[in-house]
C-alpha cells in the first residue's frame, strides 16, 4: 500500500510572509492549526517541518492565504511616504536578489512540480555532477555581490571573502536543503551576513588591526557611517536600501518583527543622514551604497576551492569527533577496569589519647645495686650454700 504524497509547503520565509500579509499573529495561526506558538515559529524559521495531519492543515491554511492575496504586501505606513517601491531587478551591482517568480517556481534551484521535499522518498536522487553544476552556477551568480555586501557590513576585505566562503561551504554541506529552497541565493546571503557580523570576530588577533580604508574620501565617510551603526541596524539598512528586499523579507532574514525592522531602518537612516546630510534621500543612499560596493575590487575564491576546502574541513572535524569519541570510550573502559569493585573504608586519621597511666617497671640501677651485682659475678662458689649468710 503506497502512501499519499504529502501536501507541498512554501519555503519558511514565504510562510512568514503569507502570515504577515494578512496581519495574523503566530498565536492565531497556532490556534487554527492546533499547535503552540513556538511550533509555528519553528516552522517559519525552518528549524522543523510539520508532518501528518498538522502538515495538511497548515498547508491548507497557507494555500488559502496565498489565494486571498491579490497584491504584494504593503510596507509600513511610516515608510510609505518616504521610500519609493523598488523592484528586485533594480539592485544594480548587488546581483544577489532572488530570481523572478517564473525562475523561482521552475528554475534551476527550484523543486519541480510533484517532487517531494528534502527528506521524503521521491525517487532517485540527483547525480553528483548535477549537484556540482547547480552549486557552481549558484556560486557564480551570488558570490561576487555577497563579497561586496559583507565588506559593507564589516569594513574588512579578508573577513568579507571568508564570510562568503564559509556560507557556501555550509550550503554545500546542506545542499539537499538549499537546492529545493525557493531562494537559494537568499539562503546563502543570510548565512554569510550572520557569519560576517558575528561578535566572536572581535577576539581574533587580526581584528585588532584595521584594514586600509577606501581611497575616495566620500567612500571613507560612508563606510565609517555604516560601521558606526549597530550590526542589526547596519544589516537592515543594507538589505533594504542596498539589496532591495521589501520590509517583511528584511524582517524575516534578520529574525525580527516587521515593526522592529521598520524602526531599525528609520534609526539607521537618521544616523547616516546626521553624518552625511546628502544621503537623507533613500534613492541617493541606495545609489551611494551601490557605488561604494562596486568601488572595491573584491574577488571571491573559485567554487572548486570552496567545495574542496569545505569537504576537507568536514572530514577533519568528523575525524576529530571520532578520535575524541574513541578517547572518551578508552578512558571510560580503563576507569572501569582499574576501579575497585567493592567499598574499602579509609582508615581514620590518628588522634591523641589522654588519661593513659605512665609505664611502670624496674628503674635504672643505683650505685649500690651495681656494686652488689659485680660482687655476685666475681664469686666462684655455686649451689645452695651461696645463700647461707656468713658471719663477719
For 88-101, the pLDDT digits (tens) are 433 334 544 443 33
Give the SS3 label for residue 257: coil
Q: Among all chains, which residue has been given the C-alpha cell 576551492?
A: 305
Closest by CA position to 12, among listed 249, 197, 236, 194: 249
> In the predicted model, is pLDDT for residue 269 greater than 90?
yes
Tens digits of residue pLDDT in 46-72: 777 888 888 888 888 888 888 887 444
Does pLDDT of 109 surpass 70? no
Q: Do you know the residue count of the chain? A: 392
CATH class of 1-73: mainly alpha
Mean pLDDT of the chain: 78
What's the rounded Cα separation, in Å, for the pair 245 and 226?
18
- What pLDDT does residue 226 have? 92
For the stretch 335-359, pLDDT in tens is 988 888 888 888 888 888 888 877 7
Of 66, 74, 250, 226, the C-alpha closest to 150 is 226
388 CB-near residues (< 8 Å, 6+ apart): none
Residue 237 cell numbers, joined: 539598512
Longest Cα separation, the chain: 152
The ranges assigned to domains in the chain are: 1-73, 75-110+127-301
Q: What is the DSSP string of 184-230?
A: HHHHHHHHHHHHHT-GGGGGSGGGGSPPPPPSSHHHHHHHHHHHTS-
Band of residue 383 on the pLDDT scale cut at 50, 70, 90: low
What is the value of pTM for the model shown?
0.56
Nearest to 190 by CA among 250, 115, 130: 250
What pLDDT is attached to residue 262? 92
d(CA 227, CA 241): 16
- Whole-number Å distance between alpha carbons of 254 and 258: 10
For residue 128, what is its C-alpha cell?
553528483
Tell me if 247 sits within 8 A of 78, measured CB to CB.
no
Q: Which three cell numbers stand for residue 210?
A: 584595521
**Is residue 155 predicted with pLDDT exceeding 50?**
yes
Work out the pLDDT band at 112, boundaries 50, 70, 90: very low
Q: Is the pLDDT of residue 210 over 70?
A: yes
pLDDT score at 230: 92
Q: What is the pLDDT of residue 388?
A: 60
Burial pattern 1-29, b for ≥16 Cβ within 10 A else e, equals eeeeebeebbbbbbbbbbbbbeeeebeeb
pLDDT of residue 264: 93
Residue-level pLDDT at 126: 43
H-state helical runs in 256-302: 258-275, 282-295
Residue 13, C-alpha cell as written in the block: 520565509
Amino acid at each position: 500500500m503506497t502512501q499519499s504524497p504529502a501536501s507541498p509547503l512554501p519555503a519558511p520565509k514565504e510562510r512568514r510572509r503569507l502570515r504577515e500579509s494578512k496581519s495574523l499573529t503566530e498565536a492565531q495561526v497556532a490556534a487554527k492549526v492546533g499547535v503552540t506558538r513556538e511550533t509555528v515559529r519553528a516552522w517559519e524559521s525552518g528549524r522543523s517541518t510539520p508532518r501528518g495531519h498538522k502538515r495538511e492543515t497548515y498547508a491548507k491554511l497557507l494555500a488559502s492565504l496565498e489565494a486571498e492575496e491579490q497584491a504584494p504586501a504593503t510596507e509600513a505606513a511610516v515608510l510609505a511616504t518616504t521610500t519609493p517601491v523598488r523592484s528586485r531587478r533594480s539592485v544594480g551591482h548587488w546581483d544577489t536578489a532572488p530570481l523572478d517568480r517564473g525562475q523561482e517556481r521552475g528554475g534551476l534551484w527550484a523543486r519541480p512540480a510533484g517532487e517531494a521535499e528534502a527528506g521524503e522518498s521521491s525517487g532517485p536522487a540527483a547525480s553528483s555532477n548535477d549537484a556540482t553544476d547547480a552549486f557552481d552556477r549558484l556560486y557564480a551568480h551570488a558570490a561576487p555581490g555577497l563579497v561586496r555586501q559583507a565588506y559593507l557590513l564589516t569594513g574588512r576585505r579578508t573577513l568579507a571573502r571568508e564570510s562568503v566562503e564559509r556560507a557556501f561551504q555550509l550550503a554545500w554541506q546542506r545542499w539537499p536543503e538549499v537546492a529545493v529552497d525557493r531562494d537559494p541565493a537568499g539562503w546563502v546571503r543570510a548565512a554569510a551576513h550572520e557569519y560576517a557580523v558575528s561578535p566572536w570576530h572581535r577576539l581574533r588577533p587580526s581584528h585588532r588591526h584595521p584594514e586600509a580604508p577606501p581611497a575616495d574620501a566620500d567612500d571613507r565617510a560612508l563606510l565609517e557611517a555604516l560601521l558606526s551603526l549597530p550590526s542589526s541596524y547596519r544589516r537592515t539598512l543594507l538589505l533594504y536600501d542596498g539589496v532591495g528586499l521589501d520590509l517583511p523579507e528584511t524582517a524575516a532574514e534578520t529574525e525580527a518583527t516587521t515593526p522592529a525592522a521598520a524602526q531599525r531602518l528609520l534609526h539607521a537612516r537618521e544616523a547616516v543622514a546626521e553624518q552625511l546630510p546628502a544621503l537623507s534621500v533613500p534613492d541617493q543612499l541606495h545609489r551611494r551604497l551601490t557605488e561604494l560596493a562596486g568601488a572595491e575590487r573584491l574577488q571571491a575564491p573559485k567554487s572548486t576551492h570552496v567545495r574542496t576546502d569545505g569537504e576537507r574541513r568536514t572530514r577533519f572535524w568528523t575525524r576529530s569527533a571520532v578520535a575524541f569519541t574513541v578517547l572518551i570510550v578508552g578512558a571510560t573502559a580503563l576507569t572501569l577496569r582499574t576501579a575497585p569493585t567493592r567499598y574499602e573504608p579509609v582508615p581514620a586519621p590518628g588522634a591523641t589519647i589522654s588519661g593513659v597511666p605512665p609505664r611502670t617497671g624496674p628503674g635504672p640501677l643505683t650505685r649500690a645495686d651495681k656494686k652488689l651485682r659485680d660482687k655476685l659475678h666475681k664469686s666462684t662458689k655455686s649451689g645452695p650454700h651461696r645463700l647461707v649468710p656468713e658471719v663477719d
